[in-house]
Amino acid sequence: MSSITYVPYQQKDEPTRKAAIVRVDFSLDGFSDEDVQLLGHLSDAVSLMNPVYRDQFEPKTFAVLRALSGLMSVASPEQKVALQNYETMLHLQNSPYSLLPRKNHLLALKSEEVKQLAKKAGKECEADLEIAGPFFFEGLALPDKAGFYPHDMTEEEYSALGETSNLVNVMFQRQNGKITPRVNEERYHAALTPIIAHLEAAREHCRYPEFRVYLDGKIEELRHGTKESRRIADFLWIRHKAPIDVIISTALEVYLDNWKNARGEAAGVVLVENAEAQSLLKACVDRLPHLEATAPWQHKKLKIDPSTLPHLRFVDVLNWSGDYVNSPMTIIAQSLPNDDWVVSHLGSVNMVYRNTGKAVHSLSGDLMAKEFMTAAAFEQYREVLFEASQIHSALHELGHTTGAMDPDHQSRQARDYLEAEYSPLEEARAELFAMFAMTRIARDGIISESMAHAGHYSMLISMVQGLRFKPEQAHVKARNLMYHFFLEKGGVREVTENGVCKFDIHLATIDALVEEILGEIGNIKAAGSKEKAAALREKLCFEDHRREEIEKRTLAFPLGRGLIFPQIKQSGGRYLRELEYPATFSEQPKFKAGLIS
C-alpha cells in the first residue's frame, strides 16, 4: 500500500477538514491475456460512465471544472495549490457538493483575486466563473431533487405522472411549462455510445459464455433502457458465475434523490472474485432461510426457492466510477439488483468489497475505535474489528433480500409507498438484521461469539460516527435512529473514562433489543406505512447533543477517502499485463472524461 496523502478542505459553517487519499491494491496474477483485454475494456467503459453521474448530480460541474482549468493556467504557484486542492475535492465528491453534509466546499482564495485570474485567462474563463463563482465562495445546499427534476416541480405534478413516476431510469424536464419524462438511455445516448463500444470489444475477448451473454444483455439495456431490457440484464448478471464482473448502469442506487427516493444514478464498477473466506460466505447464505424463518417481523419469505437465494461474494475492485465515488462515504458492501421483483423471483448478488475495504481501513484504521470504545473493549476486540465489520457488511447486504410485503401491499415495491422514508428505514433494517444474524450464526458455530461481539462493536463505532453529522443522509439517519433507541433502552451505555465519554455495549441485553426494533421496522416496511416510518424517525432520529463533542474529538481524523485505482497499460491497441497508477487522484481517467451530448 502506498503512502497516504491528505487534502485540506472547508465548507461554510463547518470546521476545516482533511481528506485522505491512498492507492488500492490489485493483481492481474492468474488471469489469461484474453482476461486482461476483457478487464481493460470493462475498466475504460466504467470510467466513461462518470460524466453521466455528474450531470445527474449537478450539471454545472463541467463549467466549474473548465473554470478551474482556466484559472490554473495563469495562477501563481501558491494560488495553484489552492485550486488543485479544490479540484481534488470536487473529484472526490464527484460534484461541487458533498452528500454529507449536503453542501458545497469552498475555494481557499479571495473572490477578487479569482476574478483577476479569470480576466487574465480570457473571456471563456470569465463566463465559466459566472457559473462556478457561487460554488467557490457561497454556502450552497444540495437540492433534494439534485439534477433529476426541475427544482420548481410540485407534488401535484409528480402525482400526475402516474406509473412513470416509479421508473427508476427516467429523468424529468420542463418543456413549455409541462413536465416531460425522458429515459436516461435516450437522454445520454451519445455518452453511452463509446461505453457500448467497449462492452462490445470486451465480449470478443470473453472466454466465459454466461458472462458474454450478460454483456449482450447489458448492451441492449444501455441502448434501450426498457424495464424488460433492465430485468433481462439483471437476470443474466445474477446467473453468471465468471470470476470477472462488471456492474454498469445509468440508474443504480437512489441515494442522490432526496425528494422521492425514486431516481437511480449512474455508476460503474469492475470486479474480480476474491476467494478469501468464500466458505464462510456460503455458510451465511445457507443459513438465510432459517434466519428469515426466525426473524422478528410478521411477514416472512417462508417459501424460499433455493435458486433465488442470494449469491454472496468477496470481490476486489479494479475501477469504479459514478455513484461509487462520493466522499465522505465509501461503499463497503452492496446488494444488487434493486428491483424487488427480480430479487423475489430470481435472487440477488451481495458483494463485500475487499481490497477497497482494506484501503479504507488503512486510512482510518483503529482511530475511531480507540477514541470511543472503552479501553477494555478496544483491547479485547481490536484485532478482529476489521474482519468482524466485513462479516457484518456481508450480512447487512443479505438483510436487504429478506422480509415480504403484507398481502395488502404486494402490488408495489416498498419504496413506492415509503418514498423519502424508504432508504433510511431500509438501511436501519439491514444494519439490525446483520446484528441479529451475527448472534445467530455464532450460536450455530459458524463464527465465534467473540467475533459476533466484535461485529456489534463495529456497528457501535458506525453509530457514534454517524452522530458526528446532522441526520440528513440515509445511512446516517439509520444509525442515528438505532443509537438513540439502544441508548434509551440501555443496550448502549455512555461511560466516563479518563475524563472523556466512551461508549459501550451491554452485551446481556443488546440482542433482545435488536430483535425488538428490527421487528418494528420490518413490520412498518411490510405495511408500506410512510406515516409510521416518519413517526419512528421523528422520535428517534435527531441531532445528538454530543455531536459537537464528537466533532471536536475527531477533527484530526480524515473525513473523506480518495481511492486511486490502477490502470492497465496499453500498447499497439492492446492491454498489457502491467498496471500503472496515476500520479495523483485527479489524474484518473474517469475524472478526465467529459459528457458527450
The whole-number mean pLDDT for each consecutive block of 10 residues of the chain, a chain of 597 residues, reads 85 93 96 98 98 98 98 98 98 95 96 98 98 97 96 96 94 95 97 98 97 98 97 96 97 94 97 86 90 96 76 93 94 91 88 92 85 97 92 92 93 92 96 98 96 97 94 95 98 97 98 98 98 98 96 92 97 96 97 95
* Residue listed under C-alpha cell 451530448: 597
Would you state the pLDDT for residue 1?
42
* Residue listed under C-alpha cell 463563482: 133
Question: Which one, of 89, 107, 22, 556, lies nearest residue 326 by Cα?
Answer: 89
- The Cβ of residue 155 has, within 10 Å, a number of other Cβ atoms equal to 9
Grid coordinates standing for 579? 498496471
Grid coordinates standing for 550? 464528537
What is the distance between the alpha carbons of residues 425 and 417, in angstroms, rounded to a whole number?
Answer: 12
pTM metric for this prediction: 0.84
Would you state the pLDDT for residue 364?
76
Partners of 170 in the β-ladder = 183
Length of the chain: 597
- Exposed, middle or buried by CB within 10 Å (0-12, 13-18, 19+), for 479? buried
Partners of 22 in the β-ladder = 563
Would you state the pLDDT for residue 363?
85
Please report the sign of the dihedral spanned by the C-alpha atoms of residue 578, residue 579, residue 583, residue 588.
positive
- The Cβ of residue 305 has, within 10 Å, a number of other Cβ atoms equal to 11
Question: Which one, of 465, 487, 475, lies nearest residue 553 by Cα?
Answer: 465
Q: How remote is the C-alpha of 145 from its chain's centroid?
A: 18
Would you state the pLDDT for residue 259?
95
**3-state class of 492 per DSSP?**
strand
Grid coordinates standing for 257? 434523490
